[in-house]
Structure 1
Amino acid sequence: MSPPAGVTVQLRQLIHYHLDNGFVENALFLAGRLHAFEPRNPDAAHLLALCNLRLGRYKAAFEHARAKGVHSQHLGCAYVFAQACLGLERYDVGAQALEKVRNLWAGRNHWNKHSETSRRHMPDAAACYCMLGKLHAAHGDTKKAIDFYVEALKINSFMWDAFTGLCDIGAVVRPQNVFKITPDMLASISHAATNGHAGQAAPPQEAQDLRNPFVSTPDIDPFNPSSRQAGDVGLNMGGSNLLSRLNGRNPAANGMIAQSTYHDVDTPITNGQSFQDEDVMMGEAGGPVLTEQADIALAPGRKPRVPAFNATEEPPRMRPITSRVRTKTNPEGDQTDIPRPIYQNGHKRTVSGHALQQTQNPPTQPSDPTAAPPRRSVRLLNSITQIRPSSRPGGMSSKDMESKERRELRKARAAAPKARSGTASTVGRVVSGNRKPHVDVSESSKPESRPVSAAAVAVAPPPRMAPPADAVREQDALNYLLDLLLKIGSGYRYLSRYDSAKALDAFALVPKAQRETPWVLAQIGKAYYERAQYAEAKNAFQKIREMAPSYMDHMEVYSNTLWQLKDEVALGHLAHTLMDQDRLSPQAWCALGNASSLDRQHDDAVKCFSRATQLDPKFAYAFTLQGHEHVANEEFDKAMAAYRNAISADNRHYNGWYGLGNVYERLGKYEVAEKHYRAAANINQNNAMILVRIGMVLTHLKKPTTALTLFTAALTIDPHSISSRFRRAQILLKLSNSSNPAYASEALDELLYLKDAAPEDPNIHFLLGRCYKRLGERGKAVRHLTIAMNLDPRGAGVVKGVLESLGEEGEEEDEGGWSSEDEH
Structure 2
Amino acid sequence: MTAPKMAPANPHITSQLRQLIYYHLDCNLIRNALFLAGRLHAYEPRSSEAAYLLALCYLRLGQLKAAYDSSRNSGSRGTHLGCSYVFAQACLGLERYVEGISAIDRSRPLWSTRNSWGKHTESRRQHLPDASAVLCLQGKLWQAHCDTNKAIECYAEALKLNPFMWDAFLGLCDLGVNVRMANIFKMTPEMMSLLSSSAQEETPLGILDESPPTNALSQSQVNINAQLPANNDPFSISKNRINGDVRTNAGTLALFERLNSKKNAVASKEEIVRPDNPIFDTPTGPVAGADESTVLGKDVAGRGAATIEPPLAPARKSRTLPGMGMDFSIDAPPKMRSNSTVRSKSRSKEESAEQDSITVSRSSTTSTAGLDLKRTVSGKAPQSTSGNARPEVSEATNDPGAPQRRSERLFNHMKTQSKKFSASTGSIGAKEGRELKKAKATGTKGRSTNAFNVGRVVSGNRKHGDPMDIDGKEQRPLSISATNVTNHKPVVNEKVKEYESVQWLLDLFMKLGSGYFALSHYQCQDALRCFNSITTSQRETPWVLAQIGRAHYEQTNYVEAEKIFTRIKSMAPSRLEDMEIYSTILWHLKHPIDLAYLAHEIVDIDRNSPQAWCTVGNSFSLQRDHDQALKCFIRATQLDPKFAYAFTLQGHEHVANEEYDKALSAYRAAIGAESRHYNAWYGLARVFEKQGKYNFAEQHYRTAASINPTNPVLVTCIGNVLEKTKSHRAALVQYSKACELDPKSPLCRFKKARVLMALHEHQKALVELKVLKDIAPDEANVHFLLGKVYKVLRQKGMAIKHFTMALNLDPKASHYIKEAMEQMEDEDDDEDADM
* TM-score when normalising by structure 2: 0.69
Q: Within 1, Cα distance between the matches of 2:14 and 2:117? A: 29
Any idea what the Cα deviations from partners look like across 1:70-93, whole Å, max 9, x if unmatched? 214211111111111111122222
Find the structure with the greater CA-based Rg. 2
Aligned counterpart for 1:782 among listed residues 800, 814, 818:
800
Per the alignment, residue 754 of structure 1 pairs with 772
Asked if structure 1 preserves the Cα contact closer than 8 Å seen for 2:231 and 2:238, the reply is: no
Name which of 77, 99, 106 aligns with 2:112.
106
Candidates 625, 649, 653, aligned match of 2:673: 649
Runs (5+) with no aligned partner, structure 2: 1-5, 203-212, 248-279, 298-307, 328-451, 463-467, 829-835
Amino acid across the alignment from 1:755: K
| TM superposition shift of 1:697 | 0.7
Are the structure 2 counterparts of residues 209 and 777 from structure 1 closer, same or farther at C-alpha, using a change threshold of 3 Å? farther
Contact 2:78 2:103 in 1 (8 A): no
Match of 1:147 among 133, 143, 153: 153
Residue number among 597, 600, 605 corresponding to 2:629 in the alignment? 605
| Aligned with residue 379 of structure 1, among 318, 322, 327 | 322
Greater shift, 789-798 or 216-225, is seen at 216-225
Aligned residue type for 1:166:
L
- Is contact 2:214-2:242 (8 Å) kept? no
Instruction: State the match for 2:565 in structure 1.
Output: 541
Distance 2:486 2:94 in 1: 59
Structure 1 residues 189 and 517: CA distance shift in structure 2, 3 A: same
The residue aligned with 2:85 is 79
Cα distance in 2 for partners of 1:14, 1:783 equals: 87
Q: 2 CA distance for matches of 1:594 and 1:460?
A: 67
Which residue is 1:794 aligned to?
Answer: 812
State the partner residue of 1:275.
Answer: none
**Offset of residue 617 of structure 1:** 1.0
CA contact 1:361–1:438 (8 Å) conserved in 2: no
- Partner deviation per Cα, 1:760-795 (whole Å, 9 max, x = no partner): 222222222222222222332233233333433333
C-alpha distance in 1 between matches for 2:59 and 2:168: 21
Moved more, 180-189 or 541-550: 180-189
2:33 counterpart of 1:33 = no
Q: Residue type of the partner of 1:87? A: G
SS in 2 for 1:596: helix
Q: Distance in 2 between matches of 1:178 and 1:670?
A: 43
Render the CA deviation track for 1:642-678: whole Å, top value 9, x for unaligned.
1111111100100000000000000000000111111
Indicate how the Cα distance of structure 1 residues 200 and 153 shifts in structure 2: closer, same or farther if over 3 A, else same. Answer: farther
Residue 494 of structure 1 aligns with an amino acid whose one-letter code is A
> Does the CA contact (< 8 Å) of 2:546 and 2:568 recur in 1?
yes
Q: Report the CA distance shift for 1:616/1:154 in structure 2 as closer, same or farther (over 3 A).
A: same
Given that 1:184 and 1:214 are in contact with CA atoms closer than 8 Å, whether structure 2 keeps it comes out as: no
**1:702 counterpart SS class:** coil
Q: Contact 1:596/1:605 (CA < 8 Å) preserved in 2?
A: yes
Partner Cα distance (2:665, 2:156) in 1:
35
Q: Deviations for 1:582-620, whole angstroms, at most 9, x for unmatched residues?
A: 111111111111110000101001111111111111111
Instruction: Using the TM superposition, give the Cα deviation of residue 799 of structure 1 relative to its aligned residue in structure 2, in angstroms.
Output: 2.8
Measured after TM superposition, the shift of residue 219 of structure 1 is 5.7
- Residue 501 of structure 1 aligns to which amino acid in structure 2? Q
The answer as to whether partners of 2:679 and 2:704 remain within 8 angstroms in 1 is yes
Write the mapping of 1:57-136 to structure 2, written as runs, cut at 5 A: 57-136=63-142
In the aligned structure 2, how far is the partner of 1:449 from the partner of 1:179?
A: 54
Structure 1 residue 301, shift from structure 2 partner:
13
Quote the residue 1:199 is aligned against.
Answer: 215
Provide the rounded CA distance (Å) in 1 between the counterparts of 2:765 and 2:37: 76
Alignment of 1:4-43 (within 5 A): 4-43=10-49
Give how far 1:302 is off: 11
The residue that corresponds to 1:161 in the other structure is: 167
Say if 1:191 and 1:508 are closer, same or farther in 2 by CA, change over 3 A: same
Alignment-derived partner of residue 242 in structure 1: none
In structure 1, distance between residues paired with 2:49 and 2:549: 46
User: Displacement of 1:796 after TM fit?
Assistant: 3.1
- State the distance in 1 between where 2:497 and 2:791 align: 75
Given that residues 661 and 672 in structure 1 are in contact (C-alpha distance below 8 angstroms), is that contact kept between their aligned partners in structure 2?
A: yes
| Amino acid corresponding to residue 595 of structure 2 in structure 1 | L
For the residue of structure 2 that corresponds to 1:110, the secondary structure is coil
Aligned twin of 1:224: 244
Determine the C-alpha separation between the residues in 1 that align with 2:641 and 2:30: 27
Q: What is the TM-score with the length of structure 1 in the denominator?
A: 0.70
Quote the Cα distance in structure 1 between the aligned partners of 2:718 and 2:791.
29
Q: Partner residue of 1:634?
A: 658
Give the partner amino acid of 2:198: A
Q: Deviations over 1:483-519 (max 9, x none)?
A: 2222222111111111111111111111111111111
State the secondary structure of the residue aligned to 2:170: helix
Which is richer in helix? 2
Matched, 1:493 2:436: no
* Alignment-mate amino acid for residue 652 of structure 2: H
Q: Which moved more, 1:69-78 or 1:196-205?
A: 196-205
Written as runs of structure 1 = structure 2, the 5 A alignment for 1:573-584 is 573-584=597-608
Could you list the per-position Cα deviations for residues 427-463 of structure 1 after superposition, in whole angstroms to 9, with x for gaps in the alignment? xxxxxxxxxx9975335688999979989x9999747
Q: Kindly report structure 1 stretches of 4+ aligned residues shifted beyond 6 Å.
A: 212-217, 300-303, 363-367, 373-376, 444-455, 457-461
Task: Between 358-367 and 489-498, report the one with greater CA deviation.
Answer: 358-367
The one-letter code of the counterpart of 1:138 is A
- Which residue is 2:583 aligned to? 559
- 2:420 aligns with none
After superposition, where does 1:293-442 map in structure 2 within 5 Å? 357-361=289-293, 379-382=322-325, 441-442=456-457
Q: Once the 2 structures are TM-superposed, how far is the Cα of residue 117 of structure 1 from its aligned partner?
A: 1.8
1:189 equivalent to 2:195? Answer yes
Q: Distance in 1 between matches of 2:41 and 2:672?
A: 40
Preserved CA contact (<8 Å) 1:733 1:744: yes
The letter of the residue matching 2:456 is: V
Q: Which amino acid aligns with 1:182?
A: T
